[in-house]
């Protein structure tokens, strides 16, 4: 599924983020930035030791913040590492931290002249954020950023599995309808 937001494109794809050819991919990292499971482990394995060596120099990363390294052996030239919130029921500021993770990743892309990037679904794996809720937060934040910034041409969400894709598709259709009513 694909929509246009100003001069930018927002796209949903079911697939593997480590094979993405956008200029940057976003890593759903842990705060150490030293690799882990899920998306984080897959990116570190596919990108090779260069990414880990650069991450060691960054001194970790708090939740909601984003930091950048090269892409190592990946097709993507850069990896933007961000840490999402651990879901603790929804009353501990999780939504704002998740919004910050997406916003700061996009800001990092803009600051580095990156015109295309791919996101995973941040915090919906081991960190336990409910997929339906996280998809609305993620897409709303990205849509708002693209409305306000024309420097990014393409944002692609690479979703692992049919369930994740369908949750994002439903959220994107709903958010698109809500935005068109406001115009």
Residue 5 has pLDDT above 90, yes or no: yes
pLDDT tens, residue by residue, 52-95: 999 999 999 999 999 999 999 999 999 999 999 999 999 999 99
Contacts of 71 (CB under 8 A, 6+ apart): 24, 25, 47, 51, 77, 78, 79
pLDDT tens, residue by residue, 17-49: 999 999 999 999 999 999 988 899 999 999 999
Residue 1 has pLDDT above 80, yes or no: yes
pLDDT tens, residue by residue, 171-181: 999 999 887 76
Residue 148: per-residue pLDDT: 95
pLDDT tens, residue by residue, 146-165: 999 999 999 999 999 999 99
Choose among 156, 141, 136, 128: nearest CA to 102.
141
Count of beta carbons in the 10 Å neighbourhood of residue 147: 12
Active-site hit among 40, 91, 151, 153: 40
- Is 40 noted as a catalytic residue in this protein? yes
Confidence of residue 182 (pLDDT cuts 50, 70, 90): low
Confidence of residue 183 (pLDDT cuts 50, 70, 90): low
Q: Where do the domains of the chain lie, and which CATH numbers do they carry? A: 2-182 (3.40.220.10)
Residue 2 has pLDDT above 70, yes or no: yes
């Amino acid at each position: 599924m694909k929509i246009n937001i100003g001069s930018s494109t927002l796209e949903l794809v079911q697939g593997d983020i480590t094979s993405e050819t956008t200029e940057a991919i976003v890593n759903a990292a842990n705060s150490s930035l030293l690799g882990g499971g899920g998306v984080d482990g897959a990116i570190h394995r596919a990108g090779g030791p260069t990414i880990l060596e650069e991450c060691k120099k960054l001194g970790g990363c708090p939740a909601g913040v984003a930091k950048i390294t090269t892409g190592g052996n990946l097709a993507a030239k850069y990896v933007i590492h961000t840490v999402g919130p651990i879901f603790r029921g929804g009353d501990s500021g999780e939504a704002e931290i998740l919004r910050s993770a997406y916003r700061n990743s996009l800001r990092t892309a803009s600051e580095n002249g990156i015109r295309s990037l791919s996101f995973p679904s941040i915090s919906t794996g081991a960190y336990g954020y409910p997929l339906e809720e996280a998809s609305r937060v993620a897409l709303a934040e990205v849509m708002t950023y693209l409305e306000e910034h024309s420097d990014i041409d393409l944002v692609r969400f690479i979703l692992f599995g049919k369930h994740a894709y369908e949750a994002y598709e439903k959220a994107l259709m709903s958010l698109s309808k809500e935005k068109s009513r406001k115009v």
